Chain A
Amino acid sequence: MIAVGGEPFYYLEFGDIVLYFSPVTTTLFVLALLFTLFVLASRPERQVDIAFGSDAYLAKVITPGELHFRKFMATACGLASMGAMVTGDVFDFTLFASLVGITNIGIVAAVKNRHVQNAAYQYGLVSLSATVPLFSGAAMVAATTGTLSLIELAKGTYPAVPLAVKSFLVLGIIGEGMAPFYAAKAEMFRAPGAPYVIMCSLSSLLIFLRVVEIAMTM
Chain B
Amino acid sequence: MIPEILAALFFGLLLLGLHRKVVARIQKRPGPPVWQEFLHAAKFFWKQTWVPKTASSLMFVGIVLVGIGIWVAALLVVIAGGNILIIFGIYMLQKIVEHGFGLSSGSPYGKFGGVRSVISAASEIPLFVSVAAIALFTHSLALQDIVAYQAVHGPLLLIVPPAAFAMFLVLLSKMPGGPFSVVEGKELVSGYKTEHFGFFRAGLYVCDGLKTTVLLWTFVLVFIGGLPTAGFIIVMVILMIILSFTCALTPMLTPFDSVTLQTLVTGAMLVYVGCIAAMGVPG
Contacts and interface: CB of A to CB of B under 8 A. Distances in A.
A51 to B, nearest CB: 12
Contacts of A201: 95-96, 99, 118, 121
Contacts of B79: none
Contacts of B105: 45
Interface stretch (A88-96, A127-135, A144-152, A175-183): A175-183
Contact of B56 (A183, A194, A208): A194
Given A45-B104, A189-B114, A201-B95, A180 B259 contact: yes
Nearest to A59: B54
Given A5-B85, A24-B89, 13 more contacts: A27-B89, A34-B66, A42-B62, A43-B58, A45-B54, A59-B54, A163-B274, A182-B121, A189-B118, A194-B56, A198-B59, A201-B121, A205-B92
A24 B85 CA distance: 7
Interface in A1-46: 3-6, 23-24, 27-28, 31, 34-35, 38, 41-46
Contacts, number: 133
A209 B122 CA distance: 14
Nearest to A215: B132
A24 B83 contact: yes
B236 to A, nearest CB: 25
A100 B202 CA distance: 35
B59 A38 contact: yes
B49 interface: no
Contact of B85 (A178, A186, A209): A209
Contacts of A216: 132, 135, 141
A47 interface: yes
A23 B54 CA distance: 38
A202 interface: yes
B246 interface: no
A82 interface: no
A43 B103 CA distance: 13
Contacts of A49: 108
A167 B113 CA distance: 32
Interface in B118-156: 118-119, 121-122, 124-125, 128, 131-132, 135, 139-142
A195 interface: yes
A197 B259 CA distance: 21
Question: Considering residues B54, B73, B274, which has the most beta carbons from chain A within 10 angstroms of its beta carbon?
Answer: B54
A194 B83 contact: no
B115 interface: yes
A190 B118 CA distance: 12
A23 to B, nearest CB: 6
